[in-house]
Amino acid sequence: MRWTEKYRPKDFKDIIGNGKQKKEVEAWVKNWKEGNPQQCLLLVGPAGTGKTTFAHVIAKEFSDSIELNASDKRSYDIIMNTVGESATTKSFFTTDNEHKLIILDEVDGIHGNDDRGGTRAIGKIIKESVHPIVMTANDFYSKRLTTIKTKCKVVKIGKIHTNSVNALLKRICFKEKIKADPQAIKELAKRSNGDMRSALNTLQVIADDSKKLTLDDLESVSQKDNTNNIFDSVRRVLKSKSIDKVKNSLRLDEDPTFVMEYIAENIPREYEKPEEIKKAYEMISQADLYFGRAQQSRNYTYWRYASEFMGVGVAISKDETYKKFTRLTGAMAFALMGRTRGKRDLRDRIALKMSEKLHMSNSVAISMFPYMEIMFENDDLAWDISNYLLLEDDEIKRFRKRKIPKSVVTRKEKEREEELAIERAKYKNSFNENIQTSPGTLAFDSNSNEELNESDEVINSSKSTKSSKPRKSEKEKINDKTSKDSEEEKQSKEESREEESREKSKEEKSKEEKSKEVKKDNAQKSLFNF
Ligand SMILES: Nc1ncnc2c1ncn2[C@@H]1O[C@H](COP(=O)(O)OP(=O)(O)OP(=O)(O)O)[C@@H](O)[C@H]1O
Ligand SMILES: [Mg+2]
């Protein structure tokens, strides 16, 4: 068993470092548990500092949790189906007081290629969910977080102090019966640079079998562990003509196509002669071909050839090395170029969203594009469909030239907000009711139109007694706000909402009928079931 798992903290008190942040997180949990919904919690910080661990410890404080991998696109559908949409129309609480924690780990993803829809989905979840959400990310400045972080309570998790890492390593050495040189432990703590995961992994690699740790052991490991940083590699390719050096520098823990983009981006910054630049780009284009082939055939031995071209090929394209300092940049321009050239990508992205939502193959989805264009002529329908499929602006543009008018967007969003307000009021009410009937728990089905009070069902629980006291003022607050007034308001809102939605669905149905007639196609009849 990996020691990172074996020694993963089970409780807040086991998490080392970040004392202030820990308090903030604990307060956030406490608030939720006392019936004060909080903003989504976003834990941002470097690798191996305990973000995922925090999320799991928090999960234990709630009655249930779902964890989704944010870099896996399918996750968004799961979220939208189980949380995003239903959270706003249906309660998750079988018993009140019980919250389902949603964990979205690593929301900044890996390289964020075509996953822009993900950011939008996350934004939607944050806005609409009535459940506590914890997200984690490494890079505070990631583009993916720009909009997300404004809607979250951001807690920055810092590197763990060397002394704390040192102390924990000592404890683990003791438990694992490792004879460790204190200097070696100190050195390992220092080298881990605040990353507890790396400290634990290194310790396990060295000492799991040998049961000893010395400074010499540490040296031998660090020589093997020479993964390069991407900028070092790019610099080496551009600055060197030594084949071995260049080959070595490309032994990177990175997606090689990403490295290629970095090299391509920086060629004209370093190379000055036009013929060198031309030669170097020819090498890049060869590498690109091999990457394409590797991807198509799923035969990744082609990567080796690609690496030769983008590394050695680019390196030897120059006559001699330049004695100058070049500021290297990220692969932005190249990535943008990639995007504009990617009409096919756009098509595939949309097809993927449709196929996942509507359970059809990509090619059937693509064959529906002409019908989509017809449906998108109608502003309301365009909004509904894009909202349902979580289409991005550029994806919407594929089906209609004009943007959806702002007035339509505002109206639609307002309608959605109203639905949400009703749900939130319901949630607060039910929380309130639960306190009143305490000790007890509440089960209600918010899909039903019955009065909440009538559908309450009191069942035994010992949970709520514990916390009923400090909640009293909160209870009164909620009482004041949400008793009779909000009941009536809610009911009338609900009635008018239902009326509207009946109207709307009639209207939509007739529109759908029309577009169906035009193309005499019955297939999409039941597809968009808003
Ligand atoms: N603050 C901490 N206290 C104790 N152990 C820790 C701490 N942070 C990390 N660890 C150890 O390192 C392992 C990995 O930590 P975790 O998965 O929480 O890191 P992370 O911050 O989510 O990293 P990443 O950004 O790479 O996802 C844990 O299983 C645990 O063993
Ligand atoms: Mg993590």
In Å, how far are 3, 158, 175, 196, 413 from 161, measured between CA atoms? 20, 9, 22, 10, 46
The CB of 57 under 6 Å from ligand 1? The reply is no
In sequence order, the 6+-apart residues with CB closer than 8 A to the CB of 126 are 40, 133, 148, 151, 152
Best mutation site among 14, 43, 53 for ligand 1 pocket (most ligand atoms within 8 Å of CB): 53
What DSSP assignment string belongs to 115-128? -HHHHHHHHHHHHH
Buried b (16+ CB within 10 A) or exposed e, 127-166: ebbbbbbbbbbbeeebebbeebbeebebbebebbebebbb
- What are φ and ψ of residue 330, in 5° steps? -75, -175
Cβ 7 under 6 angstroms from ligand 1: yes
The CA 189 to ligand 1 mean position distance, Å, reads 14
Instruction: Tell me the CATH class for 3-156.
Output: alpha beta
Residue 379 and residue 102: Cα distance in Å, rounded? 33
Query: Is the pLDDT at 244 greater than 60, yes or no?
Result: yes
Q: Is 3 in the pocket of ligand 1 (CB under 6 A)?
A: no
Q: Does 17 sit in the ligand 1 pocket, CB within 6 Å?
A: yes
Beta bridge partners of 152: 40
Using only the alpha carbons of the chain, give its radius of gyration. Answer: 28
- Residue 197, ligand 1, Cβ within 6 A: yes
Token pair of 257 as six digits: 């196509």
User: What ranges in 317-471 are assigned the alpha helix state H?
Assistant: 332-340, 343-358, 362-367, 369-375, 379-389, 393-397, 406-436, 452-455, 463-467
> What's the gap in Å between 94 CA and the centre of ligand 2?
30
Q: Distance between CA 93 and CA 91 in Å, rounded?
A: 5
Exposed/middle/buried for residue 289 (C-beta within 10 Å: 0-12, 13-18, 19+): middle
Q: How many angstroms is it from 111 CA to the middle of ligand 1?
A: 21
The structure tokens listed for 164 are 């704390």
Is residue 65 within 8 Å of 102, Cβ to Cβ? yes
Question: Residue 506 CA to chain centroid, in angstroms?
Answer: 37
Q: What is the pLDDT of residue 185?
A: 96
Asked if residues 50 and 17 have their Cβ atoms less than 8 Å apart, the reply is: yes
What confidence score (pLDDT) does residue 508 get? 60
Q: pLDDT tens, 142-187?
A: 777 888 889 999 999 999 999 999 999 999 999 999 999 999 999 9
* Ligand 1 neighbourhood includes 52 CB (under 6 angstroms): yes
Could you tell me which of 105, 108, 117, 119 has the C-alpha nearest to residue 142? 108
Instruction: Tell me if 15 CB under 6 Å of ligand 1.
Output: yes
Contacts of 57 (CB under 8 A, 6+ apart): 9, 10, 11, 12, 15
| Average pLDDT, rounded, for the chain | 75
Q: Whose CA is nearest to atom 17 of ligand 1?
A: 52
Q: Is 56 in the pocket of ligand 1 (CB under 6 A)?
A: no
For a ligand 1 pocket test, name from 14, 135, 197 the mutation site with the most ligand atoms within 8 angstroms of its C-beta.
Answer: 197
Angle, alpha carbons 468-469-471 (nearest 5°): 70
- From the alpha carbon of 5, which atom of ligand 1 is closest? 29
Ligand nearest to the CA of 49: 1
Mean per-residue pLDDT, 275-295: 87
The candidate with the shortest Cα–Cα distance to 262, out of 322, 186, 332, is 332
Give pLDDT tens digits for 190-237.
988 898 988 888 888 788 888 999 998 887 665 444 456 777 788 889
User: Taking 90 as the threshold, does the pLDDT of residue 112 lie above it?
Assistant: no
**Residue 114 pLDDT exceeds 50:** no
Q: What is the DSSP letter of 39?
A: P
Mutate to test the pocket of ligand 1, among 5, 8, 162, 253 (most ligand atoms within 8 A of CB): 8
pLDDT of the residue at 256: 83
16 lines ligand 1 (CB under 6 A): yes
Which of 61, 134, 74 has its CA nearest to residue 104? Answer: 134
Residue partners of 117: CB distance under 8 A and separation at least 6: 73, 76, 349, 353, 390, 391, 392, 395
DSSP 3-state assignment of 36?
coil
For the stretch 264-277, pLDDT in tens is 888 988 998 889 99
CA of 56, closest atom in ligand 1: 18
What is the rounded CA–CA span in Å between residue 344 and residue 292? 14
CB 153 within 8 A of CB 131: no
> Does the beta carbon of 47 lie inside 6 Å of ligand 1?
yes
Cβ of 138 closer than 6 Å to ligand 1, yes or no, is yes
Task: Tell whether ligand 1 has an atom less than 6 A from the beta carbon of residue 50.
Answer: yes
What residues contact 525, with CB distance under 8 A and at least 6 apart?
A: 512, 516
Return the CATH architecture of domain 162-224: Orthogonal Bundle (1.10)
Q: How far is the CA of 416 from the centre of ligand 1 (A)?
A: 38
Q: What is the pLDDT, as a whole number, of residue 449?
A: 38
Question: pLDDT tens-digit profile of 22-34?
Answer: 999 999 999 998 8
Any ligand 1 atom below 6 A from CB of 206:
no
Q: Which atom of ligand 1 is nearest to the CA of 4?
A: 31
Ligand 1 pocket, mutate which of 52, 71, 157 (most atoms under 8 A from CB) = 52
Please provide the size of the chain in residues. 530
Mean pLDDT of the 317-341 span: 65
477's enclosing H/E stretch is helix 472-482
CB atoms within 10 A of CB 396: 19
Q: Is 137 in the pocket of ligand 1 (CB under 6 A)?
A: no
Q: What is the pLDDT of residues 386-443, one digit of tens each?
A: 988 989 888 998 898 888 999 999 998 898 888 888 877 877 777 666 656 544 333 3
Range from 269-278, 350-359, 473-482 carrying the lowest mean pLDDT:
473-482
Class of the 230-328 domain? mainly alpha
Closest CA to 434 of 410, 458, 413, 415: 458
| pLDDT tens digits, one per residue of 289-312 | 888 887 777 777 778 788 888 998
Q: What's the CA-to-centroid distance between 197 and ligand 2, angstroms?
A: 10
Q: Which of the listed residues 42, 57, 145, 196 should we mutate to test ligand 1's pocket, taking the one with most ligand atoms within 8 A of CB?
A: 196
> Which residue, by CA, sits nearest to atom 26 of ligand 1?
47
Distance from C-alpha of 116 to C-alpha of 143, rounded to nearest angstrom: 10
Q: Which residue owns the Cα nearest ligand 1 atom 9?
A: 50
Given a cut of 80, whether residue 375 has pLDDT beyond it is yes
Share of the chain above pLDDT 70, in %: 68
Residue 155 and residue 160: Cα distance in Å, rounded? 15
DSSP H helices, 176-242, are 182-191, 196-210, 215-224, 230-239
Query: Rounded to 5 degrees, what angle do the CA atoms 185, 189, 193 make?
Result: 160
Q: Report which of residues 366 and 113 the model is more confident about.
A: 366
pLDDT of residue 159: 93
Domain segments of the chain: what residues? 3-156, 162-224, 230-328
